[in-house]
Structure 1
Amino acid sequence: MQKIMIVEDDPKISDHLKKHIEKYGYNVLAVTDFDHVMDEFYHIKPQLVLLDINLPSFDGYYWCRQIRKESVCPVIFISARIGEMDQVMALENGGDDYITKPFSAEIVMAKIRSQLRRAYGEYASKVEERVLENNGLKLFPERLELTFETKTVSLSKKESDIMESLMERYPRVAGREDLLEKLWDDQTYIDENTLNVNITRVRKKLQEIGLEGVVETVRGAGYRLHISWKENEE
């Protein structure tokens, strides 16, 4: 069952959308903690997000940018703002569509179905899916999934990018500068520990599928995959 996440701080609108969308067989989850939207996103792993612009603490543009760092799932803005620049801002910040309030629930459903078809269904790109493999470890960049033997773990976009670089460079070292350039457009504003934190997350994901000590730190250079499980078996 496909999951849809609603980020709307008006409880009446959120409840109305939730009940209507659920009639069509979708699993709908509405965010209530607007300070930790991304925590909810990681937990829910939705196939589509309905996102208001006017939200407490941070606006919808901000949250859409955060989502785009981790996922390419469709994001539909729903807002009372009717200005042309608001719609331009929504699209430039990563949105896929824009609906103005007041809205027809059936129009919302039509746009949801359209975006889901384009992303996952009959209108989705038919290009062959990329798979990177080293000694049984498989990375599916478009799915944001990593598998080994019978175990699979979901990755964030940055985690997937790191694994992609490590697997493409194997058995060579993936330099810190190269990883930072791949993950972020401007290295100047990146805290020194940011890459370390993401590497730690990658290591934890590998542990979840039964692989310990796979990402080796090469002092003064970067990181390298240390694929030894196959060698040990032989």
Structure 2
Amino acid sequence: MFKLLLIEDDKTLFHEIRERLTSWSYEVYGIDDFSKVMEEFTAVKPDLVIIDIQLPKFDGFHWCRMIRTHSNVPIIFLSSRDHPTDMVMSMQLGADDFMQKPFHFDVLIAKIQAILRRVYNYSAEQIELKTWCGATIDFDKNLVTNDTGSIELTKNEIFILKLLIERKNNIVSREALINSLWNDKHFVSDNTLTVNVNRLRKRLDELNLGHFIETKVGQGYIAIEEDSHD
């Protein structure tokens, strides 16, 4: 049974979401003291976090930053505000998905199922190490290492990198990436993919690898091998 941590201060909505998720056999935990979210997170050790942006004490962005300093657990943001920047900020902080309130519960459940299936089925596989542009990539540990150093990527970032490297020197369409990541393109803004790829590039820049992920306008993205880039 997967454990979900639902960080939502609207008690009516919290109980409604928990009831629906419990009926799908998820174990759902909440927050009693919103100044001690990290203590609850550490105690629960959830498989996925659902977090509202507007919270008492500190907002959801703050707690996302805190969680990301300790864990790559999947995170879904909820927001009642109609601000496009909320979604962009969520993805930049390492969230896996974003939902605007009010939302349909079936959509939330579909997103949760897709993320859990992608993250934990994928992580359960013992994936061999691969090399790309002089770097060693450990898909099991989400690590990219070269002579410059080592970085740990989020689940979305490593998944995008895996898809691109599997078809290196070939364009992977935006539609194929969206469908692989979120299962249903109808529920995902095209900008969500752009934000995720840009975040991946920014992380890879720490190892001087970001420029090997190229954008093909109107088509998709391509992972270039080092000798093909010259």
Shorter-chain TM-score range: 0.5 to 0.7
Following superposition, the deviation at residue 124 of structure 1 comes to 4.6
Please say if 1:120 is aligned against 2:117.
no
Within 2, Cα distance between the matches of 1:125 and 1:68?
21
Aligned residue pairs, count? 134
Q: Structure 2: any 5+ residue segments left out of the alignment?
A: 130-139, 143-151, 153-205, 207-230
* Aligned twin of 2:108: 108
- Higher RCO by CA contacts (8 Å cutoff, separation 6 or greater): 2
Per-residue Cα deviation, 1:87-123 (whole angstroms, up to 9, x for no partner): 00111112110000001111110000011011102x5
Per-residue Cα deviation, 1:21-69 (whole angstroms, up to 9, x for no partner): 0001111111121000000000000000000000011100010011111
CA contact (8 A) 1:117 1:124 kept: no
* Aligned twin of 2:7: 7
Please say if 1:98 is aligned against 2:102.
no
Root-mean-square deviation (Å): 2.3
Q: Structure 1: any 5+ residue segments left out of the alignment?
A: 131-140, 144-156, 158-184, 186-234
**What SS is found at the alignment partner of 1:33?**
coil
CA contact (8 A) 1:129 1:142 kept: no
**What SS is found at the alignment partner of 2:69?**
helix
* Aligned twin of 1:76: 76
| Equivalent residue letter for 2:79 | S
State the identity as a percent. 40
Following superposition, the deviation at residue 17 of structure 1 comes to 0.5
* Aligned twin of 1:87: 87
CA distance 1:125–1:87, change in 2 (3 Å): farther
Deviation >6 Å, runs of 4+: none
Per-residue Cα deviation, 1:143-192 (whole angstroms, up to 9, x for no partner): 9xxxxxxxxxxxxx9xxxxxxxxxxxxxxxxxxxxxxxxxxx9xxxxxxx
CA contact (8 A) 1:21 1:28 kept: yes
Please say if 1:39 is aligned against 2:35.
no
Alignment of structure 1 residues 208-219 onto 2, 5 Å: none
